[in-house]
Amino acid sequence: MNILIVEDEDEIAQLIKLYLEKEGFSCETCRDGNTGLQLFRDRQPDLIVLDLMLPGLDGLEVCARIRQQPGSKDPYILMLTAKGEEIDRIIGLSTGADDYMVKPFSPRELVARVRALLRRSLRHSAQSQVYRTPHFTVDLDQRTALRQTGEQEIGGQAVGLLDLTPLEFDLLATFMSYPGRVWNRTQLVERLWGEDFFGDERVVDSHIARLRKKIEPDPSHPSFVKTVIGVGYRFEDD
Q: Where are the domains of the chain?
A: 2-124, 127-235
Q: Where do the H-state alpha helices sit in 23-164? A: 33-43, 59-67, 86-94, 107-125
Of 146, 228, 144, the closest CA to residue 187 belongs to 228
Amino acid, single-letter form, for residue 237: D
Return the pLDDT at 90: 63
| Per-residue pLDDT reduced to its tens digit, 26-80 | 999 999 999 999 999 999 999 999 999 999 899 989 998 888 775 556 789 999 9
Residues 6+ apart with CB under 8 A from 189: 197, 201, 203, 204
Cis ω before 104 (30° cut-off from 0) = yes
Percentage of the chain surpassing pLDDT 70?
84
- Three-state DSSP at 133 gives coil
Classify 127-235 by CATH class.
mainly alpha
- Which class in CATH covers the domain with range 2-124? alpha beta
For β-strands 2-6 and 225-228, DSSP reports them as unpaired
pLDDT at 157 over 50: no
Q: Which pLDDT value is given to residue 98?
A: 83
pLDDT band at 222 (very low <50, low <70, confident <90, very high): very high
Nearest to 182 by CA among 136, 133, 234: 234
Write down the pLDDT at residue 71.
52
Where does the pLDDT of residue 14 fall: very low under 50, low under 70, confident under 90, or very high at 90 and above? very high
Q: Which of 191, 8, 197, 171 is nearest to 101 (CA)?
A: 197
Residue 117: the pLDDT is: 83
For residue 147, which amino acid is it?
A: R
* pLDDT value for 38: 94
In the Cβ-directed half-sphere of 43, how many Cα atoms lie within 13 Å? 21
Distances (CA, A) of 55 to 16, 62, 86, 192: 19, 11, 23, 33
Closest C-alpha to 46, from 26, 75, 24, 18: 75
Give pLDDT tens digits for 115-153.
Answer: 888 876 554 444 458 888 889 999 888 888 998 755 444
Element housing 208 (H / E): helix 203-215
> Could you tell me if 133 and 172 are in contact, meaning their C-beta atoms sit under 8 angstroms apart?
no
- The answer to whether 215 touches 154, Cβ cutoff 8 Å, is yes
* 94 vs 142 pLDDT, higher one: 142
One-letter amino acid at 86 equals E
